[in-house]
Chain A
C-alpha cells in the first residue's frame, strides 16, 4: 500500500461559461432569437459541439495545475476565497466531475459529504431517510442497521424518528443528516463546509465527531470558512488561489497566508518603522496625533515584522500633544487575524504612571520583556488617550509574525492555545499531595 492516500498530478478543470449578455433585448429580438436559435443550436449539436443556454465560446479554468499528495491519516484543510476552486477540487476528488487535464490516484474508499442531507426526501420519515441517505453516501444496509441507534442518539431526535422529515425543524433536519454522515466510515472522507449549519452546540458536537474521525486514522479533506475549526482539526493546510495551490504545509501557516491575503491592507508595512500619520486604520474624524511606531527586540535590533516567540519587544510610540496635559496614556493591542484581542499593553498599567505636564512631540516607550504569543500573525493596534478619552488610534498599524521557538527549553514547540506562560509541573503520589493541603482542613 502506498504511503499516500491521495496523489494528484497537474489536475485541471475547465468550465464553459456563456458569453456575456449584451444588455436588454427587445421583444422583437426575443421572438427572432426564439425562432432562430433552436436551429443554430441543433446545428452545433450535430457538429459535436457542446450546447447549452448560451453560446459557449468562453471558458475558464476553475482549477489548474493542482498537484498534491495527502498521506494516510492526514487531516487536510482546504482554504481559499469563494471561487478559488475548493469545491471543484473536492468534486474532482469525489469523482462527481472529471478533470479536463491531469490525473490522480486515490488509495482507499472515498466518502464525500458535500452537502448535508443529500437525497433526503421530505415525505419519508426520519427512519426511512436514515437508510436512504446512508445508502446514497455508500453505506451497506447491514451497516446502517448496525449503527442506527447510534445515529438516532447522536441526532437527538428519538421521539420524532417515525415522523416525516418535512415536519422537522431545520435544526432537527440538519442534525439527523449530519448524524448519518458522521457515521460513515470510509478511509478517505471529503467534507465541504457542512459545519456552517446547525446551532452552536451541535457544531461543537460535530467538531468533536470530526476530530474523533481523525484520531481513528482516517484521511480527511475538509473545506471550511471557519478558520478556527480548520485550524483546530487539520494538521495540513492547502491554500487555493484562483484555482492554483499557492501554499501547502502547516495548517496554521496556510490559515495565516489566507487571512493575510483577505485582510492585509495595502498600506501595512514590514519595516520596523511604521508611519502612522497617513495609514488606513484610522477612523475618518480622528485628527492624526500618532506619528510613528518603531519596534525593536533585544539589544536594540529592529523588528521587521518577524519575532520569535518569547522574545522581548520594545515599542516606541511617537505622538504629538496639541495642548499641554498631564493626563495621557498610550496603548498597544495585539489582535489575532480573527480579530480577537489577545493582549493589551497600556500605560495605565504602569505603576509609576505619573508623567507630569507634557506638550508637543513625545514618545511613549513600552517594553515587554517576553512576548509570549503563540506562533502566528498578529495585528497591532496603537491608541493615544488624552484626558481619559481615546483621541487617536490606528487599527492594524503593523503586522507581527511570531515565529516558532523553543520557549520552554525542552526542544518542543508549544502548539495549542493563544499564549505560552511559564509554569511548573510536579508529579506526586496521592498521599503526598494531601500533605500539601492547607493545615486547617486536615483534621
Chain B
C-alpha cells in the first residue's frame, strides 16, 4: 500500500502545476468553474452569457452550413438568387400582368422582388431552423452546449443567401433608375426585425418539432400561408387605416413594407404598423426563447 500512496503524492504535485497549463490552453472561462447538475426549474433562465461563451461553436456551425449547403450542386450559390428571382417572374406574370394588382406606383417586378428578398430569407431561415434540432440530434445526444446555438446558427447562416439576393435587388433598383436615399441606412433595422421574427418563430417550432414531428410536415404549408398573409404580391395600402396598423401583427408586414420604404422610396411610411410589428416580433422572440429553454431539458431524452 505504501508504494501506491507514494504514487498518489507524485500525482498531486503534478496537479498543482496543472491549472497553469490549462489557463494557457484558453478554454471558455479561465477560472475553474463550478458546474451544478440539477433538474432545472420549470422556467429556466436564458443563460445568454453561456451562449456568448459558445460563440465560436455557433461560428463553426454556420461555417459548416455554408460549406455544405451547395456542395455537389451544379448551380451552387446561384440557388440563393434563382429562388426569389423565379418567384418574382411568376408573380409579375400572374399578379402584375394578368390580375393587375396595384403596386404603389413602383414597377411590379421590382415591387414584388423587394418583398421576396426578405421573405425568402425569412422562410429559409424559419424552415431550416425549425428542423435544425431534429437534424442535429446526434449532436444533442452526445455533446453539451447551449441548444439555442443550433437555431441561432441556422438563422444566421441563411444571411449569406440573403446577401446575394440583396445585391441583385440593389442592381434592379439601378436598372429601374431608382437612386438610393439615406433611408437605406434603416435597412439593417428591418433586417434585424426579420431575423428576430425568424428566431422567435423557429424557437417555438424547433422545440415543438422535437416532441411533435408533425411540425416538419406542416411547415411548408405554414410558410405558404404566411407568404400570402404578407404583402409581397400586393401592397398593404389596399387596407384602410385601423386595419393597416393591425396588419402589423404579422411582423413580416413591417419587414416587407420597411424594405420597400427604405429601398424603393415607397410613399407609405410604415410608422405605427412597424411599431406593432416590432412589438410582436419582440414578444415572439422572448417567449420563444423561454419556451425553448423550458423544453430544452427533454431534448436529449426525446430525440
Contacts and interface: CB of A to CB of B under 8 A. Distances in A.
B35 A105 contact: yes
A141 interface: yes
A153 interface: no
Main secondary structure of the interface of B (DSSP, over half): helix
Interface in B144-170: 144-145
A215 B138 CA distance: 31
A139 interface: yes
Nearest to A192: B142
A73 B7 CA distance: 12
Given A109-B33, A123-B71, A215-B14, A51 B211 contact: yes
Interface stretch (A94-102, A318-326, A377-385): A94-102
B32 to A, nearest CB: 5
B142 A115 contact: yes
A187 B22 contact: yes
From B11, B26, B140, B212, residue with most partner A Cβ within 10 Å:
B11
A411 interface: yes
A121 B68 contact: yes
Given A99-B38, A103-B38, A124-B68, A136 B297 contact: no
A395 interface: no
A62 to B, nearest CB: 10
B37 A109 contact: no
Interface string B164-180: 00000000000000000
Interface string A387-428: 000000000000000001000000111010000000000000
B181 interface: no
B15 to A, nearest CB: 4
A218 B300 CA distance: 27
B184 interface: no
A138 interface: yes
B32 A107 contact: yes
A100 B59 CA distance: 33
A136 B36 contact: no
A73 B68 contact: no
B138 A119 contact: yes
Interface centre among B12, B32, B33, B37 (most CB of A within 10 A): B37
Interface in B24-76: 25-29, 32-40, 56-57, 59-60, 63-64, 67-68, 71-72
A106 B211 CA distance: 30
Contacts of B2: 411-412
A44 to B, nearest CB: 11
A322 to B, nearest CB: 51
A97 B21 CA distance: 30
B32 A135 contact: no
B37 A92 contact: yes
Interface string B4-17: 10000001101101
Nearest to A41: B212
B37 A114 contact: no
Contacts of A109: 22, 27-29, 32-33
B39 A96 contact: no
A18 interface: no
Contacts of B11: 73, 215, 217
B3 interface: yes
A275 to B, nearest CB: 37
A137 interface: yes
A368 to B, nearest CB: 26
A98 B143 contact: no
A118 B36 CA distance: 24
Contacts of B64: 121, 124, 128, 132
B72 A412 contact: no
A114 B142 contact: yes
Given A136-B139, A138-B27, A105 B34 contact: yes
Contacts of B142: 96, 112, 114-115, 118
Contacts of B99: none
Contacts of A8: 37
A142 B26 CA distance: 8
Contact of A140 (B26, B37, B72): B26
Contact of A104 (B32, B38, B145, B300): B38
B98 interface: no
19 contacts: A51-B211, A52-B302, A73-B11, A98-B38, A102-B38, A104-B38, A105-B35, A106-B35, A109-B27, A109-B33, A115-B142, A118-B138, A119-B139, A121-B64, A124-B64, A135-B57, A140-B56, A141-B59, A217-B12
Given A114-B142, A140-B56, 16 more contacts: A11-B37, A72-B15, A96-B142, A96-B144, A98-B37, A98-B297, A110-B144, A118-B138, A118-B139, A123-B68, A132-B64, A138-B27, A138-B145, A140-B27, A185-B27, A187-B32
Interface of B: 1-4, 11-12, 14-15, 17-18, 21-22, 25-29, 32-40, 56-57, 59-60, 63-64, 67-68, 71-72, 138-145, 211-212, 297-298, 300-302
